[in-house]
Each structure stands twice: as C-alpha cells, then as structure tokens.
Amino acid sequence: MDKKIAVIGGDGIGPEIISQAQRVLEKIASLYGHRFTYEEVEMGGCAVDRYQDPLPGEMLRRCLEADSVLMGAVGGPKWNGLPGDLRPEKGLLRLRGAMKVYSNNRPAKIWPQLAGASPLKEEIVSRGIDLMIVRELTGGLYFGEHTTKQEPEPQAVDVMSYHEYEIERICRIGFETARKRRGRLCSVDKSNVLDTSRLWKKIVHRISEEYPDVELTDMLVDNCAMQLVKDPSQFDVIVTENMFGDILSDEASMITGSIGMIPSSSLGDGTRGLYEPIHGSAPDIAGQDRANPIGTILSAAMMLRYSFNMAKEADAIERAVGAFLDDGYRTEDIMSEGMRQVGCSRCGELILERLE
Ligand code: NAD
C-alpha cells in the first residue's frame, strides 16, 4: 500500500521522538511491502521562529493532503510570552480545527513489565488493563455559550448542548473502535440528571442495532470514575462526551504510571487522523537523547491500525515494544532497579531489531 504521512517534529523532544517513529515505519514498510512517503511539516515554536506563524498555510496544506498526520509535540518556555495567535499551541488547535477531528482516542494500557509504575494495587493491575477512551472533542459544555453577569448578584452560566448528529458520529467511532479491539463498548453518561445524556443514551442504543457484533453497556460517569480505579480490567472501549472524557482519560492515563508510553489519535469523518503521544515537548530533557520515544512509536502503530487498516503491522510494532521491555531495557523515565537504561535513539534501534 502507498501512504503519504505528514510528519510534524515540532519542538523540544519532538524531533528526537518522531525520528525514532519514522525508523520504525520504514522497517514496517520494508517488511510488509508498503511504501510510506513523508511530508515534513514545521509547526509550533519552530514555525513561529522561521515564519512568525505557528502553522503557515503551506504547512497546513501538506497535512490536509496527507493520508494521516504523525506529530511529536509543540511548545516550550521560549514561546510562552508571545501573544495568543503566535503561541505554538495555536498551530495545533488550528490543525485540529482544519482536519475537523471530533474524536479523541486514548488507550490506557499497563504493560505487565511496567506494572510496578502503576499507583494501583498489584492485585488489581495483575488482572490486566487495556482500555481505550473515545472522547467527543468539539461539543458539549466546553463549546456551549459561556456567560457571566454581576447583577443582581454574580452569576455564571455554561451551556451544555449536543445535537443528534454530534452524538451519532462519535458513537459510531466508539463502535468501530470496539470492533477492531475486543468487541465491547461502554457508553458513559449522566442520564439520571442530564437531558444531553438521555439523548446520548437513546442514540447510542439505536446505533447499536447496526453493530450486533459489539456488546454495548451503559454506565453513569460517577460510577465509571470509581470503576476505573477499582477494576479497570472490565473495560475495553469507553465512549463519552467531552467533559466526562477529559476527566476520565486523564484518570485512565494516571493508572498506567508512565506518560512517555501513551499514544493518542484524533479522528473525524473518513480515515485521516492526527496521531501524537499524550505528553508535551519536555523541554527539560530536549536535545539530550533522554526522551522515551515509545508513546510516539505506539502513535504510529495506532495510525497503521485505525487510519490505514494495517492491523498486523500495528500488532508487530506493539509486540516489538513488548519484547524491548521483556529484555529488560528501559528509558530513564521508566527505569527501575536491575534494568538496563538506554537513550532515545538506542531505544528506537532496539525496538527496530525486534520488529518482525
Ligand atoms: P511535558 O509532558 O512536556 O513534561 C512533563 C514531564 O514529563 C517532564 O518532566 C518531562 O521531562 C517528562 N516527559 C514528558 N514526555 C516524556 C518522554 N517522552 N520521555 C521522558 N520524559 C518525558 O509537560 P509540560 O512540561 O507541562 O509541558 C512542556 C511543553 O509542552 C509546554 O510548552 C506545553 O505547552 C507543551 N505541551 C504540548 C503538548 C502537545 O504538543 N500536544 C501537550 C502538552 C504540553
């Protein structure tokens, strides 16, 4: 298969981690007979320095013309004092808007080799944790009307609104994702209180008739927050609205114990997606070959699985990461006693050697 990938190194550790992910993609291409071509995209602080614009039009065009976008991270203290439009994150927000991605998908997986890093008890972790949170990204409370008035007394109002089509399209991503995983979808809402949740529940059940191979359950958001720490092994895919997803996905990342290991995708209609690790540009360790590139390498694996329909290639990358950990290698952020510490590029090399 031929695929064009827009690659955004970005700032801080971004270029270091992205180049390891590209090496992995190249090896996959040669092992499985694909051809990946790359469009380099300058976005973030580096683009501000060069073009006085965090996402120049030409760079955006390259992203929109690609089959998918793979990104490292953007931002850093150097650009903190700049006015709003020149801030590196503005480039990322513009890119998400232009790509019309309305679904943010974050897996939370505990690698058995790193179980000790989880703040949860061993007896819970040993049951295995491997779930995905599909969060609605462009609607709900964060995008409703916000008003504050002072008279007759100070009052603030935030409006939570969902149209049927917004619920329908995110729920479809939930079902499609569950179909590519273990076939179980948990829809999280607050239908005992909120009208938006009651509409959500009605729609998700209607759509479920089109997905008889996916088992659908419902859970109230407060219960879900508890169940994530009590027994996260019960979940496969969770689909939920924007604010609930914001909170639950951070909770789920926390239980895995390592920010450097977690990938993410943002999807809209069609197959093109934006793939990036959940961490930032880590300016404190940038340029020192100390970053963990695994979150980015696993983001590349997600891109193969969800945008390019290359499941066995994605499995191969995940197996190679598992083998790297099995063999006792660790980057600094996940280092523990008795293990062998390696830098960013050596980590990429060792994963490459384990790819088959
Ligand atoms: P951060 O995620 O960059 O770093 C937090 C801590 O985790 C740091 O100690 C860092 O060294 C460590 N860390 C992060 N990723 C790591 C990795 N792959 N390997 C090893 N250690 C890693 O968060 P921050 O310090 O709050 O933000 C730094 C910059 O990144 C800010 O400018 C912020 O705006 C930006 N940011 C960008 C994105 C993005 O591009 N999507 C996301 C979050 C933050």
Q: Whole-angstrom Cα distance, residue 124 to residue 229?
A: 8
CATH of 1-118+259-356, one of 3.90.1580.10, 3.30.930.10, 3.40.718.10, 3.30.1330.60: 3.40.718.10
Helix ranges restricted to H, the chain: 14-32, 45-51, 57-65, 88-99, 122-125, 164-179, 195-208, 221-230, 242-256, 294-302, 311-326, 344-353
Atom in ligand 1 nearest the alpha carbon of residue 14 = 40
Angle, CA 300 vertex, CA 354 and CA 73 arms, to 5°: 120
CA-closest residue to ligand 1 atom 8: 282
Q: Which of 3, 27, 109, 190 is catalytic?
A: 190
The answer to whether residue 256 scores a pLDDT higher than 90 is no
Say how many residues make up the chain.
Answer: 356
Q: What is the DSSP string of 67-82?
A: SEEEEEE---GGGTTS
Ligand 1 centre distance from Cα of residue 251 (Å): 17
Ligand 1 neighbourhood includes 282 CB (under 6 angstroms): yes
* Residue owning the nearest CA to atom 10 of ligand 1: 282
- Mean pLDDT along residues 151-160: 96
What 3-state class would DSSP assign to 3? Answer: strand
Amino acid 350 reads L
What does the pLDDT read at residue 4? 98
Q: What is the Cα–Cα distance from 189 to 205, expressed in whole angstroms?
A: 13
Domain range summary for the chain, segments of one domain joined by +? 1-118+259-356, 120-255
Summarize pLDDT for 18-28 with one digit per residue, the tens: 999 999 999 99
Ligand 1: centre distance to CA 280 (Å):
3
67 is catalytic: no
Q: Which tops the pLDDT comparison, 142 or 287?
A: 287
Distance between CA 236 and CA 223 in Å, rounded? 16
Its CATH architecture, for the domain 120-255, is: 3-Layer(aba) Sandwich (3.40)
Q: What percent of the chain is predicted at pLDDT more than 90?
A: 94
Please tell me the pTM assigned to this model: 0.91
> Quick check: is 130 catalytic?
no
How many angstroms is it from 196 CA to the middle of ligand 1? Answer: 34
Q: Which atom of ligand 1 is nearest to the CA of 276?
A: 41
Whether 1-118+259-356 shares its CATH topology with 120-255 is answered yes
